[in-house]
Each structure stands twice: as structure tokens, then as C-alpha cells.
């Protein structure tokens, strides 16, 4: 943490907005004053950007804090706002999605076609017995049907739970069971790194343990052979033969829109619940404001996967509610070559690019000559999402992708916040490399000390949100107590001091001398790997489930590419042979075991086989010391250890070693 602080203190470069963008920006500096003067009136005006079937009676009901209700009494339909109103306004022929498959196949989907497919999917789901309030699990690759499935659920008031297509059968099972999903929408597979990657077998394994699932809808994408059961239906034989006539019914502003599971500090994932009116208001407004989106001329590309919140808010709901034309890409950035992303920018003349620091750092590693080989002159704004971006990557992004002149919006937000909270405004902010700068208009963020008091400029502490916001999570699905305990119990009324409820984001942050915010990453035991939250507890549970492991501890270590990497320390069971090649085989086996149990994203970079773990006298594992080992630092204070000689054994690498990175 101290090294990061020292690095930040030296960053003084600032980059003003390009004059032309500033002159024509969707949102100007006036928005800050307007929101500060009357925050609720500000959000009421943003809600007015949407179509409401019934106006609200009250902007915010915070009487049962921390359970918020926004636009109380208002009614709207999310799919109508994303599709019907654009078609009715005569924009049906406008391209909604330029889709690029990894093998090079393409589809161009207009708003009229997306509307028709969504209506057909809504009718097909209704025919399968799905009604408003039912839950539908979606486990799909990056194909247009993923957006259609989400919009069809929203259209009929079903609550969708999208599960990232890289997750394992166990992870999928847990999420289906927790939400009691009635239908699963999947595909035979998708294309990943040049070959088909099957999804249907994972779903079959999960559905066998999930009695709530009545039907499985299967999109044919790869053409691979799949097993078939009485619950299975081909998408092309059901959805694409259904009636395209469907009237969207309005739902209450607080009607559940989706559940999205995120890792927690326990092994049980948290189902984050988002509702309808407030969520759409803020995702729609922030797409308009942060990306300066001009639907008539812009081609927007968010490179996220539909399975993460970024895919929900900034591929589906934000852009489509604004009538944007966007790019959706199925595959990986280096297939079939390392210039694939820039080839797509060049091909579709992308103007707004929103991607992750992990990818930017990977591109840096590959070399500046790769983006230099493509025409990127269409780009006018760059965005960053998923984790703090280090100043070096920020500068590289600006120089080699942004021609040394484009603004970069470095955005901070979470699955829980639903929409962007802290970011430069591209027509206003003089951006600093590596800083998310300030809270957006209508958002009240702060950095506080252990007592919940605001730190002065130049100080560091915990990032908190002091006022409710429209797209905030409403609870953890089925667990109101965990919702309060996880997010509201650290500071303010939830900690029984002060009257105001204070949301603790779980991130450390620093205010620089100008009061601008710098994010420092997670302060709890959740690792941020390539922008994805992964709980140490989940990985530890996976390791201990292996028959050769007695105990395990996991830490996140700084990694130049992924931000954090997973480093595990495992104590083998007594009879396990860990000498020489046997030890190396076990390490490889354990890494693969974690990947199979939780998904490839959770595969440890390194596993050390150790005789013991550093514990306090009360038995608590001291992860701080393990992080020191993982990052090759000199050990900190070991006086509270039960047995300080343990660290000598671990540091010497006795009994095991590193695995090669993939």
C-alpha cells in the first residue's frame, strides 16, 4: 500500500479535454452544480430521459434505510426503452449490433431485428411457463442471443441471472440453486482461442442437480454434437418460430430486473439484486454522460463479457436505451493474431472504446507496433473499467491507441453500484493518469479513516458512498442480513454511530492534494484478477477439496498483467509424496483442480507446498506475511506468530515451489 501511495504522490501530469469535444460535450461542468443544489431533482431529470408508462409519486424513499426505493409508484418496461421506442421513432433500420464471431463470421442486427427477436423470445419464454417474477439463468457466449435473452426476460418481468460462460458446473449449479431458476438459456458452445468451447455439457451437469429447472433453451452456435434430454429445446426451433408480436407490459420501478452473483469473503457467492427504474435511469444517463455518446454518429465498443456487470450496464441496458450502434465480439484479443482488437476498431470505425487495464497491459507487453499497424483514426474517446489503471498503462493507452490526444475516462464502479460512480467527464475534466478523479454529478463519494471521518487531501483510507444512488443494489438475494452486514456495518448508522447510513465499497482509496480520488484496490480478502473479484475463501475451499491437501491459504499478489494474481500455499496431507517430480505433478494437478472447480479465471499463478502456515496464537492465518513471501518482500512483524520459524521454512521454499505460468 505504501509503495502505491508513494507512486501516486509523484503523478502531476494533467491532460485537458480536446477543445472540440469540450465544445460539443453532452454534459458540461454545470451538471455538478445542478446536482449539488438538489440531488433528487437532478436524478428526476435524468429519469425523464426514459419512457415511463406511469410517472412516479416520489423520487426516493429512504425511510427503511439501507433498503432504497427509487421513483416510487413509477412504471416502465426496460425492453420497451431499449427497443420499441427507437423503432416507433423511425429508427428501426439503424444498426444496434455489429457482431463479430471469433472465426470471422459476422452479423448485423438492426433495432427492428433485435426488437423482433426479443418479442419472439418473450413469447417462447411465456410458452415455457415463465411469468413475471420467475428467474431465468443465462449461460451463453458473446453472441447477440445473449442480449436478446436478457431483454426478453426484462420484457416479461422475469428476473435474469447471467452466469459467465467460463464458470464451472459447480459455480453454475450454486447460482441456479440460489435463485431457483426455472429455465436455463445456453448454447452448444462458443469459440475460444480458435476452437469450439462446449457449454451444454456444463449445463447438463448443473441441471441434474437443480430440480427447479423445467426447461433448457439451447442456441446452436458451434454445431458440435450435444446430449439431449426431455427438458431441452433448440432456440431456432422455438424462439425463431414464435410470433414476433408482443406488447411490452409496464412494471413497477422496483420490480427485480436481475440477480448477478459476485464473489464474497465466504465461499458462498452473493446474489446482487438490481431493480428496474433507478438502474435504467443511471445506466442510461452515465452512458450518455461518461462516453459523450452521440447515437447518430458514434460506434461504441465495450469489450467486456455479457456475464459481468459491465456487460449488463454498458453492452445491453446503457447503450441500447440510448439508441447506440455498438460492436460485440465473441472471442479473445489474440485470435487468430494479436492485432484482432485493432482490426475490429479499424473495420467498424469504432469511435468509443471501453476496455480493461488488464488488456491494456497485455497490449503493452505485445508492443506498440501492433496497434500502429491499423487505422485507429476513428476513435475519439477511450475508457477503462474493472480495476485501477496504473499511470504507465494510462499513458501507453493514450499515446498508442489515442494518438496522444484522446481523453480517457477511467471509471470506478462495482457490480453492487450498478453503474459508473466515479469518472472524469470527457468534456470537462483535466484528467490525471491513473486517477478516477471525482464522483459523477449526483453521486456523493468520500474517503474516510477507521472512525469514518473524511480524510484531508493527501490522505488515504476507505472509499465510501454517503448518499443513496438510483442504480444501487437493493439487497443480496434471499439474505437481507448479509446485505446490511457486508455493505453497511463498517461506518455510519450501520455501525451504530452517527445517523447516516454509509456504504462501504470494500476498496481503499487516496485523495491527492487536489482532492482527486485514486483507487488502491480491495482492502478485504477478495482478489481482483483481470478485473474479476475472486474470493480467497472460494479458492482455499477448492484446494482443500483435493484429496492431497490438508490446509490452504490464498493471497492476491501484484501482477504486471492481471493486476493481482492468485498465489496459494498448500499443506499436503501426511502421506503425500512431494519430492522432486511428484511435487511438480501435484502442483500442476492442484492448479487444474481449482480451474475445474471454480473456472479457469481462478487458476492460481503459483502454488507453494509448505509444511505449515503462519498463524496467530488464536489460529488466524496471517495472510499479510504470505503476501510478503508471494511478492518477494522482506517479512514484516512476526512477533504475533504462534511459531516464527514457520516463516523461515516457507521463505526458503522448502517442500515445494513454483509452477510455470500458462
pLDDT digits (tens, 9 = 90+) for 375-421: 999 999 999 998 888 788 899 999 999 999 999 999 999 999 999 99
Q: Report pLDDT for 4.
A: 35
Beta bridge pairs of residue 551? 571
619 pLDDT higher than 80: no
654 pLDDT higher than 70: no
642 pLDDT higher than 70: no
Query: Span 305-316, mean pLDDT?
Result: 96
The answer to whether 69 touches 254, Cβ cutoff 8 Å, is yes
186 pLDDT higher than 60: yes
CA distance 372 to 550: 51
246 pLDDT higher than 60: yes
**Other CB atoms within 10 Å distance of the CB of residue 24:** 10
Percent of the chain whose pLDDT exceeds 70: 92
Closest CA to 648 of 635, 657, 632: 635
State the pLDDT confidence band at 169, using cuts at 50, 70 and 90: very high
Q: Report pLDDT for 111.
A: 99
523 pLDDT higher than 80: no
State the pLDDT confidence band at 656, using cuts at 50, 70 and 90: very low
State the pLDDT confidence band at 237, using cuts at 50, 70 and 90: very high
647 pLDDT higher than 90: no
Q: Which domains does the chain have, with CATH numbers?
A: 38-332 (3.40.50.12780), 530-651 (3.30.300.30)
CA distance 271 to 171: 12
Least confident window among 21-30, 171-180, 289-298, 633-642? 633-642
Query: Going by C-beta distance under 8 Å and a sequence separation of 6 or more, which residues neighbour residue 211?
Result: none
198 pLDDT higher than 80: yes
For the stretch 543-578, pLDDT in tens is: 888 988 877 889 998 888 888 899 999 988 777 777
- Choose the most confident range, by mean pLDDT, from 40-49, 262-271, 501-510, 580-589: 40-49
Q: Report pLDDT for 651.
A: 62
Q: Report pLDDT for 577.
A: 79
278 pLDDT higher than 50: yes
Least confident window among 51-65, 219-233, 432-446, 576-590? 576-590
- Helices 169-179 and 200-207 cross at an angle (nearest 10°) of 50
The answer to whether 553 touches 537, Cβ cutoff 8 Å, is no
Helices (H) and strands (E) in the chain, counts: 23, 30
- The whole-model pTM stands at 0.85
304 pLDDT higher than 50: yes
Q: Which residue has the higher pLDDT, 5 or 206?
A: 206
State the pLDDT confidence band at 1, using cuts at 50, 70 and 90: very low
Q: What are phi and psi of 509, to 5 degrees?
A: -155, 165
Q: Report pLDDT for 10.
A: 58
Q: Report pLDDT for 553.
A: 87
For the stretch 322-362, pLDDT in tens is: 999 999 999 999 999 999 999 999 999 999 999 998 889 88
DSSP 207-276: HTT-TT--EEEEE-SS-------TTEEEHHHHGGGS-S--PPPPEETTSEEEEEEE--SSSSPEEEEEES
Amino acid at each position: 500500500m505504501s509503495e502505491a501511495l508513494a507512486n501516486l504522490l509523484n503523478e502531476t501530469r494533467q491532460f485537458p479535454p480536446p477543445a472540440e469535444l469540450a465544445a460539443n460535450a453532452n454534459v458540461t461542468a454545470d451538471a455538478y452544480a445542478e446536482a449539488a443544489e438538489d440531488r433528487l431533482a437532478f436524478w428526476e431529470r435524468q429519469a425523464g430521459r426514459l419512457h415511463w408508462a406511469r410517472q412516479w409519486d416520489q423520487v426516493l424513499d429512504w425511510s427503511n434505510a439501507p433498503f432504497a426505493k427509487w421513483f416510487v409508484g413509477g412504471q416502465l418496461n426496460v425492453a420497451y426503452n431499449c427497443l420499441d421506442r427507437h423503432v416507433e421513432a423511425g429508427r428501426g433500420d439503424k444498426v444496434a449490433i455489429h457482431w463479430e464471431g471469433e472465426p470471422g463470421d459476422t452479423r448485423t442486427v438492426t433495432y427492428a431485428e433485435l426488437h423482433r427477436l426479443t418479442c419472439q423470445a418473450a413469447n417462447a419464454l411465456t410458452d415455457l411457463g415463465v411469468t413475471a417474477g420467475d428467474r431465468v439463468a443465462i449461460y451463453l457466449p458473446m453472441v447477440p442471443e445473449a442480449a436478446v435473452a436478457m431483454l426478453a426476460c426484462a420484457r416479461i418481468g422475469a428476473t435474469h441471472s447471467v452466469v459467465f460462460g467460463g464458470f464451472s458446473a459447480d459455480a453454475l449449479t450454486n447460482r441456479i440453486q440460489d435463485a431457483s431458476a426455472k429455465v436455463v438459456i445456453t448454447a452448444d458452445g462458443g469459440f475460444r482461442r480458435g476452437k469450439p468451447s462446449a457449454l451444454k455439457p456444463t449445463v447438463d451437469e448443473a441441471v441434474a442437480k437443480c430440480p427447479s429447472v423445467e426447461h433448457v433453451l439451447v442456441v446452436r452456435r458451434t454445431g458440435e454434437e450435444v446430449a439431449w434430454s426431455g427438458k431441452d429445446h433448440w432456440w431456432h426451433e422455438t424462439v425463431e418460430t414464435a410470433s414476433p408480436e408482443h406488447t411490452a407490459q409496464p412494471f413497477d420501478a422496483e420490480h427485480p430486473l436481475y440477480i448477478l452473483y459476485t464473489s464474497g469473503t465466504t465461499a458462498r457467492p452473493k446474489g446482487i439484486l438490481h431493480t428496474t427504474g433507478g438502474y435504467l435511469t443511471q445506466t442510461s444517463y452515465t452512458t450518455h454522460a461518461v462516453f459523450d455518446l452521440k447515437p447518430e454518429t458514434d460506434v461504441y465498443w465495450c469489450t467486456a463479457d455479457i456475464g459481468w456487470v459491465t456487460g449488463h450496464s454498458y453492452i445491453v441496458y446503457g447503450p441500447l436505451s440510448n439508441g447506440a450502434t455498438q460492436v460485440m465480439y465473441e472471442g479473445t484479443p489474440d485470435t487468430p493474431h494479436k492485432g484482432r482488437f485493432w482490426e475490429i476498431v479499424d473495420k467498424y470505425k469504432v469511435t468509443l472504446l471501453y476496455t480493461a487495464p488488464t488488456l491494456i497491459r497485455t497490449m503493452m507487453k505485445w508492443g506498440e507496433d501492433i496497434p500502429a499497424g491499423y487505422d485507429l483514426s476513428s476513435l475519439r474517446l477511450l475508457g477503462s473499467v474493472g480495476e485501477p489503471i496504473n499511470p504507465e498503462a494510462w499513458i501507453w493507452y493514450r499515446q498508442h491507441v489515442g494518438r496522444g490526444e484522446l481523453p480517457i475516462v477511467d471509471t470506478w464502479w462495482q457490480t453492487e453500484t450498478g453503474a459508473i460512480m466515479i469518472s472524469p467527464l470527457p468534456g470537462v475534466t483535466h484528467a490525471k493518469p491513473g486517477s478516477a478523479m471525482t464522483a459523477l454529478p449526483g453521486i456523493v463519494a468520500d474517503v474516510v479513516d477507521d472512525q469514518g471521518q473524511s480524510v484531508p487531501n493527501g490522505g488515504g483510507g476507505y472509499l465510501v458512498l454517503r448518499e443513496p444512488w438510483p442504480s444501487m443494489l437493493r439487497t443480496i438475494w434471499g439474505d437481507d442480513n448479509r446485505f446490511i452486514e457486508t455493505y453497511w456495518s463498517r461506518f455510519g448508522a450501520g455501525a451504530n454511530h452517527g445517523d447516516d447510513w454509509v456504504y462501504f465499497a470494500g476498496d481503499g482509496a487516496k485523495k491527492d492534494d487536489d482532492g482527486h480520488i485514486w483507487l488502491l484496490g480491495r482492502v478485504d480478502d477478495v482478489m481482483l484478477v483481470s478485473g474479476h473479484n475472486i474470493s480467497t475463501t472460494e479458492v482455499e475451499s477448492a484446494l482443500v477439496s483435493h484429496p492431497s491437501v490438508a490446509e490452504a491459504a490464498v493471497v492476491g499478489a501484484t501482477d504486471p498483467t492481471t493486476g493481482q494474481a492468485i498465489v496459494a500455499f498448500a499443506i499436503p496431507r501426511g502421506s503425500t509424496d512431494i519430492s522432486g517430480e511428484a511435487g511438480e505433478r501435484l502442483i500442476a494437478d492442484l492448479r487444474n483442480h481449482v480451474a475445474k472447480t471454480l473456472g479457469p479465471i481462478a487458476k492460481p499463478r503459483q502454488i507453494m507446498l509448505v509444511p505449515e502456515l503462519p498463524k496467530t496464537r488464536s489460529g488466524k492465518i496471517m495472510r499479510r506475511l504470505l503476501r510478503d513471501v508471494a511478492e518477494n518482500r522482506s517479512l514484516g512483524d512476526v512477533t504475533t506468530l504462534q511459531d516464527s520459524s514457520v516463516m523461515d521454512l516457507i521463505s526458503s521454499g522448502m517442500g515445494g515451489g513454483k509452477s510455470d505460468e500458462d
